[in-house]
Amino acid sequence: MFDSVLIANRGEIACRVIRTAKRLGLRTIAIYSEADRGAPHTRLADEAHEIGLAPARDSYLAGEKIVALAKKIGAASIHPGYGFLSENAEFAEACAAAGLVFIGPPPAAIRAMGLKSAAKALMQKAGVPVTPGYHGDNQSPKFLKEKAYEIGYPVLIKAIAGGGGKGMRRVDAHVEFESALESASREAKNAFGDARVLVEKYVARPRHIEMQIFGDAYGEVVHLFERDCSLQRRHQKVIEESPAPSLNDETRAAMAAAAIAAGKAVGYVGAGTVEFIADSSKGLRPDGFYFMEMNTRLQVEHPVTEAITGLDLVEWQFRVAAGERLPLSQQEIRSSGAAVEARLYAEDPERGFLPSSGKIHALRLPAGQGIRVDCGVEEGGEVTPFYDPMIAKIIAHGATRDEALDRLSTALGETLVAGPRVNAAFLKALCDAKEFRAGAFDTGFIDANLDKLGVGAREFDAAAALAGAERLLARRAERFAGASAASDPWSLADGFELTGKRVVGVEALVDGKPVGFIETIERGVRRLALKDGAPSRADAPPLTIVAAKDRAFVLREGRQTEVQLVDPLDADADAAAVGSGLIEAPMHGRLLALFVKEGDLVEKGDRLAVVEAMKMEHVLSAPRAGRVGAIGHAAGAQVAQGARLMTIEEPEQ
């Protein structure tokens, strides 16, 4: 075993790798960007070094700088985690050239599986079933459109490089193909530096089931059972579990054999995942699944496998990379019980799952029997717009699937995050959904049940707004009283009344929108009500209030309401823009593309711009017909949440 490792990653996976490395006695070295100064992974490691500016291309993707640093400080190996450089064959080669052990597969295996089109051709030769489609080199939009017509709609356009749903679009009609191809290619180019795509048949009622495999340098390849990753949104995994519901032993054995064949076909060494799409319309049959791709790295959902096998996959990675044989043979690997993982993201289900960044004012993560939490942030820290918005992974293990899901549901109910909005309530609703509990789901389940899962705009939470405003007014009164020892008779803080009752108007911003309150003070008793007469209290459930410097975050049932009092002498002129044609950046990110210029006439629903944040693209559309006014930023610019991008003005008559 080597004596040291540099972890070329950040967040929860960096913390995860550091813990195992320390247990094995390795010297642990963290790197961090300007935005991650003081982050938990930098303090957990034995030493930490700043590598570059906040954008990933200047830091966590700067392979040459990372290799140079590793050589300078005497690191023996580099663990890339997942994402960033983990599937970069050139980086793996650079490590080897510098005398560093790359904790991952050989560069040749990465290349073989890195391009989906070449990988599918290789799998066909190895006897692994693949999805019907076009996987060739001709990238002419006209030719690809013709192929899509021949395959038959619906089809999937998929980037040939990378993974994680980037550069992937479902197309249901011939007239939609060109715009979908343009979007997929652009996203693929931005994410992977390669705009090429393939086109394949979209499988009806698809289930996404993957096999964890491990190989060593002696030609041995084993599987560590499957994970069902069918609960997805925008092709991003949301909840993963093992064993896969309704997967019979015969089909499991066929998948395992195909996965091992895939690994052996490329001389695989280390941890890898072979992903299959299964047609569940007629049940999960041995002849009803197809190879999708192979992830040549550790997966985000690897704790699910660790829970059912009792193994440490990161330790296996280190041992195999050090030249050891696999710790166990296939016959010695056992599965026990059921495990399920939920990805807690800083995103807002009420606003189309827009990423949510900012300071974490409070963070309470669950604990208890059968619960594991992998986290890379902390209370007082910040979720930045530069990286994936994952806050934590919450994993539950139980003797049965129902027990594991019950434990996960309870754990999600105990989770509290104040500041960035999170998807905890959405995840809990998924865990409790009767169809999911019954195993009656596929990759389209979330999109088909958004309303049931509490996704989309919800009614104004009057009780939460009142509770937050009351807390802020009480704090204001306490500060005023403490600062005014002379007891001003006109002060609102002392409840003094000349007429027996005082009624005061209070203005606040609730989730960024102006809301009016009426504060009544009579006989020293204060009462607060909404101007529109909404009830001041809700019977259940209880509220949790987290007070920050100038605002309050009110949480209940996983939903957050943010309240901020407005100084009447400093009214925000932007409030007048509510309901206007103002187009604002929905989150911190990069203005990836502009489709209009000043003076253009647009119709309601026309595409205006694309903002990219946290590895996701968000299309902004015209809220009404009109003329494009002044454009505030050029394509390529970094923009803050709420930044004015443009206005849609009434057309001249």
Mean pLDDT for the stretch of residues 522-533: 82
Q: Which carries the bigger pLDDT value, residue 587 or residue 323? A: 323
Tokens describing residue 353 = 């799952």
Q: Where in the chain is the domain with CATH 2.40.50.100?
A: 573-649
pLDDT class of 568 with cuts at 50, 70, 90: low
pLDDT score for 296: 95
Mean pLDDT for the stretch of residues 16-40: 97
d(CA 467, CA 536): 8
Mean pLDDT for the stretch of residues 115-137: 87
pTM of the predicted protein model: 0.83
**DSSP letter string, 483-530:** H-TT--TT-GGGT--SSS-EEEEEEEEETTEEEEEEEEEETTEEEEEE
CATH architecture classification, 573-649: Beta Barrel (2.40)
Kindly state the percentage of the chain with pLDDT values over 70: 93
Indicate the range of 465-469, 511-515, 535-539, 567-571 predicted with least confidence: 535-539
Q: HSE (CB half, 13 Å, CA atoms) of 314?
A: 24
Q: Where in the chain is the domain with CATH 3.40.50.20?
A: 4-103
pLDDT tens, position by position, 164-207: 778 999 999 999 999 999 999 999 998 888 999 999 988 888 99
Mean pLDDT of the chain: 90
**DSSP strand pairing (638-639 vs 589-594):** antiparallel
Phi, psi at 620, each rounded to 5°: -100, 130
Q: HSE (CB half, 13 Å, CA atoms) of 277?
A: 17
Kindly give the residue spans of alpha helices, DSSP state H, lying in 348-439.
401-414, 424-432, 434-437
Task: Identify the helix (H) or strand (E) that includes residue 592.
Answer: strand 589-594
pLDDT score for 590: 85
pLDDT tens, position by position, 240-276: 999 999 999 999 999 999 999 999 999 999 999 999 9
Mean pLDDT for the stretch of residues 478-493: 55
Q: Are 47 and 34 in contact (CB under 8 A)?
A: no
pLDDT score for 578: 39
pLDDT higher than threshold 60 for residue 34: yes
Residue found by looking up tokens 């890898």 in the block: 272
CATH architecture classification, 337-455: 2-Layer Sandwich (3.30)
pLDDT score for 575: 40
**DSSP strand pairing (559-565 vs 552-556):** antiparallel
SS3 labels along 406-420: HHHHHHHHHCEEECC
Indicate the range of 177-191, 369-383, 478-492 predicted with least confidence: 478-492
pLDDT score for 484: 52
Q: Are 608 and 646 in contact (CB under 8 A)?
A: yes
Kindly state the percentage of the chain with pLDDT values over 90: 69
Q: HSE (CB half, 13 Å, CA atoms) of 7?
A: 33
pLDDT tens, position by position, 603-646: 988 989 998 876 667 788 888 899 999 899 999 888 877 788 99
**DSSP strand pairing (77-79 vs 4-7):** parallel
d(CA 534, CA 464): 12
Q: Are 177 and 217 in contact (CB under 8 A)?
A: no
Q: Are 394 and 365 in contact (CB under 8 A)?
A: yes
Task: Identify the helix (H) or strand (E) that includes residue 584.
Answer: strand 582-584
pLDDT higher than threshold 50 for residue 574: no
**DSSP letter string, 30-50:** EEEEGGGTT-HHHHHSSEEEE
pLDDT class of 154 with cuts at 50, 70, 90: very high
Q: Which carries the bigger pLDDT value, residue 494 or residue 27? A: 27
Q: Where in the chain is the domain with CATH 3.30.470.20?
A: 106-127+209-336, 337-455
pLDDT tens, position by position, 42-95: 999 999 999 999 999 999 999 999 999 999 999 999 999 999 999 999 999 999
pLDDT higher than threshold 90 for residue 131: no
**Cα 221–Cα 257–Cα 162 angle in degrees, nearest 5:** 70
Residues whose CB falls within 8 Å of the CB of residue 32, separated by 6 or more in sequence, listed in order: 10, 39, 41, 42, 48, 49, 50, 51, 59
**What is the maximal distance between C-alpha atoms in the chain?**
91
d(CA 510, CA 514): 6
d(CA 212, CA 226): 6
**DSSP letter string, 52-101:** E-SSGGGTTT-HHHHHHHHHHHT-SEEE--SSTTTT-HHHHHHHHHTT-E
pLDDT higher than threshold 50 for residue 564: yes
> Is domain 106-127+209-336 classified as CATH 1.10.132.20?
no
d(CA 647, CA 632): 9
pLDDT class of 531 with cuts at 50, 70, 90: confident
d(CA 226, CA 297): 16
pLDDT class of 486 with cuts at 50, 70, 90: very low
Q: Which carries the bigger pLDDT value, residue 166 or residue 208? A: 208
Residues whose CB falls within 8 Å of the CB of residue 81, separated by 6 or more in sequence, listed in order: 7, 8, 9, 13, 14, 16, 17, 297, 298
Phi, psi at 211, each rounded to 5°: -115, 125
**Catalytic annotation present for 551:** no
Indicate which residue of 10, 27, 297, 343 is catalytic: 297
Indicate the range of 189-203, 415-429, 519-533 predicted with least confidence: 519-533
pLDDT score for 190: 86
SS3 labels along 228-247: EEEEEECCEEEEEEECCCCC
Fold of 132-201: Dna Ligase; domain 1 (3.30.1490)
pLDDT class of 487 with cuts at 50, 70, 90: very low
Q: Is 606 helix (H, G, I), strand (E, B) or coil?
A: coil
d(CA 206, CA 157): 16
pLDDT score for 576: 38
CATH number of 4-103: 3.40.50.20
Phi, psi at 48, each rounded to 5°: -145, 145
